[in-house]
Amino acid sequence: MIARLLIRPAFAWLRQPGLHAAVPILILLAIGFIGPLVLVAIFSFMPPRSFTLDGAPTIENYQTVVEQSFYLSLLRSFAFAAGTVVVLALVCYPVALGLAKLFGRYAGLLTLILVLPLFVSENVRLFGWVLFLLKGGGVLAGAAKAVFGLELADMLYSNTATLMGLCYVYLPFMLFPMVLGLSMVQRDVVEAASDLGASRWQIMREIELPLAMPGLVIGGLLTFVLSLGALTESKVLGGSKVIMIAADIESAFTFGQNWPLGSALSMLLLVLAGGLVLLVLRKLDLDAILKRR
Amino acid sequence: MGGGCREPAVRVGCDGASGGELVMVVVAKPLTRRLIIAWTACVVAFLYIPIVCVFLVSFHKARYFSFPFSDFTLDWYGKAFSSLQTQELMLVSLKVAGVVTAISVVLALFGALAFARFNWRGRKLFQRLLLLPIFFPQAVLGLALLIWLTFLGVLPSWQSAVFAHLVWIAPIVTLVVSIQVYGYDAAQEEAAFDLGATRLQVLREVTLPALAPGLVSGALFAFLLSWGNFPLSFFTTGADSTVPEWLYTRMVAGYTPLVPTMGALIVIGATIMLVLGYALIVLRRRRANSHG
């Protein structure tokens, strides 16, 4: 009797067409996303330098992270990610406002222009920055010397260059959710506020920002998480001076041949980033955001 | 402040006719607008500086780059197309992007129906799970997949790179298609069912044509993201190599003048795809408008 009570809802649940439609992609995510993550989680508790799961579980790898100051690169990555979000929020807001409200029929073409760099491999674009900023023969230094006779200081391989690279690569990830958010603000509401005597600043603070919040939050979150785990930017533009957490993870997995250490570092990054994502996503109504475009 | 005030000719009238703060808002607007336009131009310039640099350098004749230079040449493009190695690289990149596009569009079609069309218990959870791979550092995902593949005893090759790309790209395409699904009236399907159509017929005759624009933009996204992807390919292609991967290894060590040339070719490839895709979408929309 009890069994029947439990089984019938389970069958009903399994017969939902929505679930059937979700199955193919769920299988993909199970073997391509959840599987690898579970494996990494288990490996993080294996003895250092093991390549099998036979060893006795240990927290040695996490101790290594603290003792050998790996957490410093984690902190550095957090600082870079936070900096990227702040800079991009300020840079993108006016552009997003323009795309959502001002540019009208040019918005489509402009979106195309803004989106194109996203589809060019990020290392090609970062390489372009190297060519631009290179000391001596770079485009900027060369032009400054030829035109103004100026000798420019080396700008590559520094924290600033890395931050700029991060802002550069993740700009679209901030911009487009922001546009989505700002297009949720209806013109009538803004006009009503302005008719009632609100200043431009008040309109932004009291109306645009709160109504556009879901888009802003998604943009900020996406930018934060992606730049937290960024690898190429620091390698190409930061050189050997700027080590971010992803670089530590990579060298542990590859040159270091220490899967458990790499796994422990990944887990720290993933738990922090994933926790943040899930926390924020819980508050958002995805249906409303995607529907009201 | 009425909509008419946005037209320059009418604005003068508005300025004169209204009083107090309303005038302030109306007067401030053209300035704000100009500032926004100027700022947007700066952002576009910022986005294109490195791409322009890559193109510039790809025409440079000498082996080592130094700006400014005066000896332009197209030789490196000739070399890029005639070299067997670069042909192989482009072939691998195209192969990966093509297969990823085909598979992810099919997965995304059903995924988007589950995401936006059907109301089912578990949908909210599904939506969140689907977003996780997008909100995920790609380099870490690539490394986790490398460990996973090695652990399972799969030898990494371009096929495993297809798999890795799918984990990240299929959810994105699903979101793109979902936006189309949200705007789609499911009553059409029910009408077709009432008229005696089978499930397959409904899918082919009603659902697919209605979702076609979303599927086209989804396919475009899939192709372009896979074509330009570096972090996932880097860890999962094994002995095969895509163009972005080769560029990276050559940038770090063993620079050749083919690096900017191949970089420029990547940009050209992406531009062609994007323009073709955009033209296709615009044409479809025009045709739909002229019919309806």
Shortest distance between the Cα of A122 and any Cα of chain B, in A, equals 7
Which residues from B are below 8 Å from A97, CB to CB?
A: 36
Average pLDDT in the B154-180 region?
93
Q: Is B170's pLDDT higher than 60?
A: yes
Task: Please name the amino acid found at residue B136.
Answer: F
- Subunit contact A132:B50, Cβ cutoff 8 A: yes
Q: Is A124's pLDDT higher than 90?
A: no
Rounded to whole angstroms, how far apart are CA atoms A108 and A103?
9
Q: Is A56's pLDDT higher than 50?
A: yes
Q: Is B11's pLDDT higher than 50?
A: no
Shortest distance between the Cα of A55 and any Cα of chain B, in A, equals 15
First to last CA, chain A: 49
Single pTM value for the model: 0.85
For residue range B216-254, what is the model confidence (pLDDT) as tens digits?
889 988 998 898 899 899 999 988 899 999 988 888 777
- Subunit contact A119:B224, Cβ cutoff 8 A: yes
pLDDT of residue B24: 37
Mean pLDDT for chain A overall? 86
Rounded to whole angstroms, how far apart are CA atoms B122 and B145?
27
For residue range B83-108, what is the model confidence (pLDDT) as tens digits?
888 889 989 999 999 999 999 999 99
**What is the DSSP-derived secondary structure letter of residue A117?**
G
Q: Is A270 on the interface with B (CB under 8 A)?
A: yes
Average pLDDT in the A269-291 region?
84
**Interface list for A 148-207 with B (CB within 8 A):** 168, 171, 191, 194-195, 197, 199-200
- Subunit contact A115:B120, Cβ cutoff 8 A: no
Shortest distance between the Cα of B103 and any Cα of chain A, in A, equals 10
Q: Is B22's pLDDT higher than 70?
A: no
What count of residues does chain A have?
293
- Subunit contact A124:B54, Cβ cutoff 8 A: yes
- HEC readout, chain B: CCHHHHCHHHHHHHHHHCCCHHHHHHHHHHHHHHHHHHHHHHHHHHHHHHHHHHHHHHCECCCCCCCCCCCECCHHHHHHHHCHHHHHHHHHHHHHHHHHHHHHHHHHHHHHHHHHHCCCCCHHHHHHHHHCCCCCCHHHHHHHHHHHHHHHCCCCCHHHHHHHHHHHHHHHHHHHHHHHHHCCCCHHHHHHHHCCCCHHHHHHHHHHHHHHHHHHHHHHHHHHHHHHCCHHHHHHCCCCCCHHHHHHHHHHCCCCCHHHHHHHHHHHHHHHHHHHHHHHHHHHHHHHHHHC
Q: Is A34's pLDDT higher than 80?
A: yes
Q: Is B38's pLDDT higher than 90?
A: yes
Domains and their CATH numbers in chain A = 70-121+151-291 (1.10.3720.10)
Lookup: tokens for A72: 């410093």
Which is higher by pLDDT, B143 or A285?
Answer: B143
A111-125, A136-150, A152-166, A269-283: lowest mean pLDDT where? Answer: A136-150
Which of B231-244 are b and which e, b meaning 16 or more Cβ less than 10 Å from the residue's Cβ? bbbbbbbbebbbbb
Rounded to whole angstroms, how far apart are CA atoms B130 and B115?
9
pLDDT range class, residue A45, cuts 50, 70, 90: very high
- Subunit contact A281:B128, Cβ cutoff 8 A: yes
B53, B125, B129: best to mutate for the A interface, most A CBs within 10 A: B53
pLDDT range class, residue B1, cuts 50, 70, 90: very low
User: What share of chain B in percent tops pLDDT 70?
Assistant: 87
**CB pairs A-B closer than 8 Å:** 291
Average pLDDT in the A60-71 region?
86
Rounded to whole angstroms, how far apart are CA atoms B222 and B170?
8
Q: Is B27's pLDDT higher than 50?
A: no
- Subunit contact A287:B65, Cβ cutoff 8 A: no
CATH class for the region spanning B75-291? mainly alpha
For residue range A245-271, what is the model confidence (pLDDT) as tens digits?
888 998 898 888 898 999 999 999 999
Rounded to whole angstroms, how far apart are CA atoms A269 and A81?
12
pLDDT range class, residue B8, cuts 50, 70, 90: very low
A98-102, A192-196, B283-287: lowest mean pLDDT where? Answer: B283-287
- Subunit contact A21:B110, Cβ cutoff 8 A: yes
Lookup: tokens for A274: 């994933």
Radius of gyration of chain B from its Cα atoms, rounded to whole angstroms:
25
For residue range A208-238, what is the model confidence (pLDDT) as tens digits?
888 888 889 989 998 999 899 888 888 888 8
Average pLDDT in the A146-172 region?
84
Shortest distance between the Cα of B89 and any Cα of chain A, in A, equals 14
- Subunit contact A124:B174, Cβ cutoff 8 A: no
- If you measure CA to CA, which chain A residue comes closest to B64? A137
- If you measure CA to CA, which chain B residue comes closest to A120? B228
Rounded to whole angstroms, how far apart are CA atoms A55 and B268?
51
Partner-chain residue, chosen from B52, B224, B263, that has the shortest CB–CB distance to A127: B263
Provide the angle, in degrees to the nearest 10, between the axes of the packed helices A60-67 and A259-283.
90
Task: Please name the amino acid found at residue B7.
Answer: E
For residue range B98-149, what is the model confidence (pLDDT) as tens digits?
999 999 999 999 999 999 888 888 898 999 899 899 888 889 999 999 999 9
Task: Please name the amino acid found at residue B251.
Answer: M
pLDDT range class, residue B292, cuts 50, 70, 90: low
Rounded to whole angstroms, how far apart are CA atoms B101 and B105?
6
pLDDT of residue A1: 59
ipTM of this predicted structure: 0.85
pLDDT of residue B248: 87
Rounded to whole angstroms, how far apart are CA atoms B96 and A196?
57
pLDDT range class, residue A293, cuts 50, 70, 90: very low
SS3 content of chain A, % helix, strand, coil (to 5): 75, 0, 25
Partner-chain residue, chosen from A94, A246, A293, that has the shortest CB–CB distance to B39: A94
- Subunit contact A120:B131, Cβ cutoff 8 A: no
Average pLDDT in the A74-81 region?
92
- Subunit contact A139:B56, Cβ cutoff 8 A: yes
A157-161, A187-191, B8-12: lowest mean pLDDT where? Answer: B8-12
Which residues from B are below 8 Å from A122, CB to CB?
A: 228, 230
Q: Is A58's pLDDT higher than 50?
A: yes
Beta bridge partners of B72: B60
Q: Cβ(B266)–Cβ(A128) under 8 Å?
A: no
Which residues from B are below 8 Å from A264, CB to CB?
A: none
Shortest distance between the Cα of B152 and any Cα of chain A, in A, equals 10
